[in-house]
Amino acid sequence: MEALMAEATQTISDRIQQKLDDLTRAERQLALSILENYPASGLGPLTALAKDANVSVPTVARMVQKLGYKGYPDFQAELREELRAKVKNPIAKHDMWAEAAPSEHLLNRFTDAVMDNIRLTLSQINPVEFDAACGLVADQSRHLFIIGGRITHTLAEYFYLHMQVIRPNLTHVQSTSNTWPHYLLNAKKGDVFVIFDVRRYENNTLKLAEMAHALGAQIILFTDQWRSPVHHLADISLSCRIVVPSAWDSAATTMLLIETMISSVQNLNWGETKERMETLEVMFDQTKLFRKFT
């Protein structure tokens, strides 16, 4: 049960980011050092963490207490729980939830979990960063590349479908690595890559991100609360809570951010978007794609 609660609450990364403004200079230096190689940075001895961050041992002890832990062993114990949560496969997750399931109906429990995910995600999203991401996606002078993975390709396709209507100059990169060189051949410095990558992070996605970053492209990452390795390459990371009482993670919060971004980009380009929509409707009428009742 304790592992279940640890997974559903804030991560250590979240706690650090919330407390940054309250930390001393040395504590902030330590916090940023932990986040730089999170979560591996906190798995070693306390003295090694202090040395890596170039701070004193008492500084580590003080900051851990400010984060709400009695001491460094409690801090490490929760960090290990986070690591276990990151690598859980669907069968292992289902067994854990089934053992801990309360008596209320699943509809209510699932909805409660999704609402908690949304609330905690929005409390962590920086509106300035979100607006900056929308601005990059709306900038039609930049070619827009959209990439998903084994599961997240459905989110990528949904996002791409709407962006097709809103703006020109974009590409949906298919999630097979043998075709990536063909897409990247046309990428250049300043182009925008929107990448979706959640836990059980995919090696192919990381490789593509590394190649795009090397070309000078800007990366917007949609990920989970533990953050994909692509986070270290991304210009903007949007971390979403995904834990629900299911063998599968939830895409509800990620979809909320996607649809909010679609709305924002649509408004930023409304003049041209409206014309594109009107042209599209004429094409729909010509092809009789939709049945009309009037």
Residue 90 pLDDT: 58
Q: Does residue 92 lie within any of the structural domains?
A: no
CA distances from 63 to 19, 36, 94, 216, 273 (A): 9, 16, 35, 36, 49
Phi-psi group of 11: left, alpha or beta (phi > 0 → left; psi -120 to 50 → alpha; rest → beta): beta
Q: How many CB atoms lie within 10 A of CB 77?
A: 12
Same domain, 134 and 234: yes
What CATH number is associated with residue 15?
1.10.10.10
Residue 34 pLDDT: 83
Instruction: Report pLDDT digits (tens) over 128-151.
Output: 999 999 999 999 999 999 999 888
Q: Does residue 222 lie within any of the structural domains?
A: yes
Same domain, 136 and 275: yes
Q: Does residue 102 lie within any of the structural domains?
A: no
Low-confidence ranges of the chain (pLDDT < 70): 1-9, 86-104, 175-178, 290-294
- Domain membership of residue 45 as a residue range: 11-87
Q: Which of 26, 55, 87 is the last residue of a domain?
A: 87
Instruction: Report pLDDT digits (tens) over 35-63.
Output: 777 777 788 888 888 888 899 999 999 98
Same domain, 81 and 163: no
Q: CA–CA separation, 116 vs 205, rounded Å?
A: 28
Q: Which of 100, 94, 190, 91 is nearest to 145 (CA)?
A: 190
Same domain, 146 and 269: yes
Same domain, 74 and 154: no
Residue 11 pLDDT: 79
- Per the structure, how many domains does the chain have? 2
Kindly report the pTM of this predicted structure.
0.71
Residue 148 pLDDT: 92
Q: Distance between terminal CA atoms of the chain?
A: 57
Same domain, 161 and 246: yes
What tokens does 77 get?
């114990």
